[in-house]
Chains A and B, each alone.
Chain A
Amino acid sequence: MPVTWPHLGNLEIVLKDLITAAGQPYILPPKNTARTLQLGLRHSPEFACLPLKITIGNFIEALEAGADTLIMAGGIGPCRFGYYAQVQRAILNDLGYDFEMIVLEPPAMGWKLFVDTLKRIAPGKSLWEIAKAIKLAFRKGRAIDAVEREVLKYRAYERKKGATTKAYRAALNVLDEALFEKDAIDEAKEEALGLVYGVEKDVDRPVLKMGIVGEFYLLLEPFVNFDVEEYLGHSGVSIERSVYVSDWISPGNNNIIGGISEEEIKRAAAPYLNHFVGGEGQATVGHTVIYAGHGFDGVMQLFPFTCMPDTIAKSILPRVGRDFDIPILSLVIDEQTGKAGLITRLEAFLDLLWSRRMQREKRLLSV
């Protein structure tokens, strides 16, 4: 019974270990390509958001490759994502595939359901063994995210274009190959960080500081966001991102990679949006307020077309922008595959940020 799951950034590195520890074989869906997207578009409801479509494509391609057990995240709250696993089950059933679907609902849906689901994924393993494996998986997940965070921050300073991306790939490889043990993971993390820090930098180069907020799937899966972070890094932008894979799976206040706790986010968002609206809506507003307070040059919001929570956030962000005098660019991503439109808007946004920066410096000099 080979297990599979949809792509989400670097999630696979961790899940491979976890499923192996659960005593199960796995099959990764082929990498996201135009075909994945086409399959997803063909078999999904038109009004659903891009994440549903791509993950359907992943499942179909994985089933074709021989997987028969699908793991999908569930969720509660107003965002449709929580229901996608059920929609996918129905669609794939209609297509005639023979499979079992395991929906990983958050513990908030009830601990018993959560534990039962874990036992289905890892039959014959004790709860203690499962808990230990999950803990290790988080250790590795956070190590990966910590490396990614540095990459986003420092790519803009690299002397040789592409050196950071190369080091990042090597670093991920080190973490991927690390044994699923505490010490091995810690060692691999040091080695991986060393690779990224080792990239030669020009620290005197002027760079822009930008925060990226929005819907988690669009932020975490480079295929759907056109590797926008790499493009920005090469255009001289140092990035802070609101969400990382491990933070998304385990929200809370422990060892968060993004560095901003749930409480802080809610507090920051409160004057504009003081309750949960599903997905990342409230977090998008909260992070924007916090980034503005940190003196960032600008904030970019990314979300899929028809995403309700982030559409709510989008309508609030102009007010945040006015109150804190910070430029915000909201970009809606759909099934389009041409990168040119995105680049045009980003180029214009960077022009805007640079001219503001220059104006500010001129003002400081003239005083």
Chain B
Amino acid sequence: MRKANTTGIHLGIDVGSVSTNLVALGEDEEVLASVYLRTQGQPIAAVQRGLIELEAQLEDVPLEVGSVGTTGSARYLSGVIVGADIVKNEITAHAVAASFVVPEVRTVLEIGGQDSKVILLKQGVVVDFAMNTVCAAGTGSFLDHQAARLGIPIEDFGSHALKSSSACQIAGRCSVFAESDMIHKQQMGYRVEDIIYGLCQALVRNYLNNLAKGKEIVAPVVFQGGVAANAGMKRSFEDALKTEVIVPKHYHVMGAIGAALLAKDSIGNGETKFKGFGASSIDYRTSSFNCKGCANNCEIVKIEVEGTVLARWGGRCGKWEVQEVEEEAAV
């Protein structure tokens, strides 16, 4: 009984710790435009820049925006900024996108900037998942850092790994020790490509033994997130799992695709709350203050437009929590 809104495009916005991704899906759920930006610690500015770029890419598309969804760790903040119809966690968004691209998918491996996830599905429904909690070893930021240290552009990191004929053994349990181990191997004179491939294998080992521990990984396996660009990681996963690993075409913006699909699904024939691409030129102000209500001294964050409070959060007790106080505030 899915009644899709057939007129208009559907936007998905995924604001993560490292990257901010936006996509526009067409009437047939095809990707019309996609933007991949660095968040650089400024989610609002990143979303606004993203909207400008997305609008430019959509110049020749005569369709109106039918719905918009946000996801990622800044999903609530970006939801307020753009006027989201749906705000969804990134685990669900990634699962939705993966099963849209590969309908029979059973396992999603997702490695982003600061976090990694494993999601298990059955008939398109998530049946189990895990997301790293206290350790960020093996995520994109660490690979970024290692690439910079070796003087290799991150884009080429994976292809270097593919050149390796025999991987070095690298300790992958903790990224700090992995780094010392890599330096040690370098000083011994090992070839860079063997070290890089060894690192990929160590990260995959850590991922499978820690995050995915006790989870049955069944094919088809889809690998997505920024790190899926790394062919060395893909090869390491294939070696370890002894199965083909599918990297979808839009692997780096899958969260945003998921958010767009969810938005399209949720809007039905309703009106979108999208504030328009003009949201990119609005002067959003964020400020924070310490609540003196109790000894917790919670730091409350406030987002305002021209004196009107759009949202407020950050307290333990929920007394300051305001969201979407006035819909028309940003118009």
> Could you list which residues of chain A lie within 8 angstroms of chain B, going by C-beta atoms?
30-31, 33-35, 162, 226-227, 305, 315, 317-319, 321-322, 327, 330-332, 334, 336, 340-341, 343-345, 347-349, 351-352, 355-356, 359
The reply to whether B91 and A321 form a contact with Cβ atoms under 8 Å apart is no
- In the complex, 5 of the A-B residue pairs with CB atoms within 8 angstroms, ordered by the A residue number, are A34-B296, A332-B133, A334-B133, A334-B134, A344-B91
Q: In the complex, what distance in Å separates the CA atom of A340 from the CA atom of B316?
A: 12
Q: Find chain A residues with CB under 8 A from B128 CB.
A: 321, 327, 352
> Could you list which residues of chain B lie within 8 angstroms of chain A, going by C-beta atoms?
73, 88-92, 123, 125-131, 133-134, 213-216, 294-297, 316, 318
Q: In the complex, what distance in Å separates the CA atom of A340 from the CA atom of B213?
A: 24
What 9 pairs between A and B have smallest CB-CB spacing? A318-B214, A348-B91, A347-B89, A33-B295, A351-B92, A352-B126, A348-B89, A332-B133, A344-B89
Kindly report which residue of chain B lies nearest to residue A227, judged by CB atoms: B316
Kindly report which residue of chain A lies nearest to residue B213, judged by CB atoms: A315
The reply to whether B125 and A359 form a contact with Cβ atoms under 8 Å apart is yes
The reply to whether A318 and B91 form a contact with Cβ atoms under 8 Å apart is no
Q: Find chain B residues with CB under 8 A from A340 CB.
A: 73
State how many angstroms separate the Cβ of B16 from the closest Cβ of chain A: 11
Q: A348-B91, A348-B92 are in contact. Are A341 and B129 (CB under 8 A)?
A: no
Q: A319-B214, A344-B90 are in contact. Are A33 and B296 (CB under 8 A)?
A: yes
Q: In the complex, what distance in Å separates the CA atom of A345 from the CA atom of B214?
A: 18
Q: In the complex, what distance in Å separates the CA atom of A331 from the CA atom of B133?
A: 8
Q: In the complex, what distance in Å separates the CA atom of A344 from the CA atom of B316?
A: 16
Q: Which one of B127, B129, B294, B318 lies within 8 Å of A356 (CB-CB)?
A: B127
Q: Find chain B residues with CB under 8 A from A321 CB.
A: 128
Q: In the complex, what distance in Å separates the CA atom of A340 from the CA atom of B43?
A: 15
Q: A31-B295, A344-B91, A345-B91 are in contact. Are A352 and B129 (CB under 8 A)?
A: yes
Supplied contacts A319-B214, A334-B134, 7 more A-B pairs, CB within 8 Å:
A347-B88, A348-B90, A348-B129, A351-B89, A351-B92, A352-B126, A355-B126
State how many angstroms separate the Cβ of A336 from the closest Cβ of chain B: 8
The reply to whether B125 and A356 form a contact with Cβ atoms under 8 Å apart is yes
Q: Find chain A residues with CB under 8 A from B297 CB.
A: 33-34
Task: Output the residue of B90, B294, B316 with the most chain A CB within 10 A.
Answer: B316
Kindly report which residue of chain B lies nearest to residue A331, judged by CB atoms: B133
Q: Which one of A317, A322, A334, A344 lies within 8 Å of B131 (CB-CB)?
A: A344
Q: Find chain A residues with CB under 8 A from B213 CB.
A: 315, 318
State how many angstroms separate the Cβ of B18 from the closest Cβ of chain A: 15
Q: In the complex, what distance in Å separates the CA atom of A317 from the CA atom of B214?
A: 9
Q: Find chain B residues with CB under 8 A from A318 CB.
A: 213-215
Q: In the complex, what distance in Å separates the CA atom of A332 from the CA atom of B210?
A: 13
Q: Find chain B residues with CB under 8 A from A347 CB.
A: 88-89, 91-92
Q: Find chain B residues with CB under 8 A from A332 CB.
A: 133-134
State how many angstroms separate the Cβ of B112 from the closest Cβ of chain A: 12
Kindly report which residue of chain B lies nearest to residue A30, judged by CB atoms: B295
Q: Find chain B residues with CB under 8 A from A331 CB.
A: 133
Q: Find chain A residues with CB under 8 A from B214 CB.
A: 315, 317-319
Q: In the complex, what distance in Å separates the CA atom of A135 from the CA atom of B162?
A: 71
Q: In the complex, what distance in Å separates the CA atom of A319 from the CA atom of B134?
A: 23
Q: Find chain A residues with CB under 8 A from B131 CB.
A: 344-345, 348
Q: Find chain B residues with CB under 8 A from A305 CB.
A: 133-134
Q: In the complex, what distance in Å separates the CA atom of A327 from the CA atom of B125?
A: 12
The reply to whether A355 and B125 form a contact with Cβ atoms under 8 Å apart is yes
Q: In the complex, what distance in Å separates the CA atom of A349 from the CA atom of B89?
A: 10
Q: Find chain A residues with CB under 8 A from B91 CB.
A: 344-345, 347-348, 351
Q: Find chain B residues with CB under 8 A from A336 CB.
A: 134
The reply to whether A31 and B89 form a contact with Cβ atoms under 8 Å apart is no
Q: Which one of A30, A227, A319, A327 lies within 8 Å of B127 (CB-CB)?
A: A327
Q: Find chain A residues with CB under 8 A from B294 CB.
A: 31
Kindly report which residue of chain B lies nearest to residue A162, judged by CB atoms: B318
Q: In the complex, what distance in Å separates the CA atom of A330 from the CA atom of B131?
A: 10
Q: In the complex, what distance in Å separates the CA atom of A35 from the CA atom of B297?
A: 10
Kindly report which residue of chain B lies nearest to residue A330, judged by CB atoms: B130
Q: In the complex, what distance in Å separates the CA atom of A333 from the CA atom of B214?
A: 20
Q: In the complex, what distance in Å separates the CA atom of A319 from the CA atom of B214?
A: 8
Q: A332-B133, A344-B91 are in contact. Are A352 and B295 (CB under 8 A)?
A: no
Q: In the complex, what distance in Å separates the CA atom of A327 from the CA atom of B214?
A: 13
Q: Find chain B residues with CB under 8 A from A356 CB.
A: 125, 127
Kindly report which residue of chain B lies nearest to residue A328, judged by CB atoms: B128
Kindly report which residue of chain A lies nearest to residue B115, judged by CB atoms: A341
The reply to whether A352 and B127 form a contact with Cβ atoms under 8 Å apart is yes
Q: Find chain A residues with CB under 8 A from B130 CB.
A: 330
Q: In the complex, what distance in Å separates the CA atom of A341 from the CA atom of B115?
A: 10
Q: Find chain B residues with CB under 8 A from A359 CB.
A: 123, 125
State how many angstroms separate the Cβ of B97 from the closest Cβ of chain A: 14
Q: Find chain A residues with CB under 8 A from B125 CB.
A: 352, 355-356, 359
Q: Find chain A residues with CB under 8 A from B133 CB.
A: 305, 331-332, 334, 341
Q: Find chain B residues with CB under 8 A from A355 CB.
A: 125-126
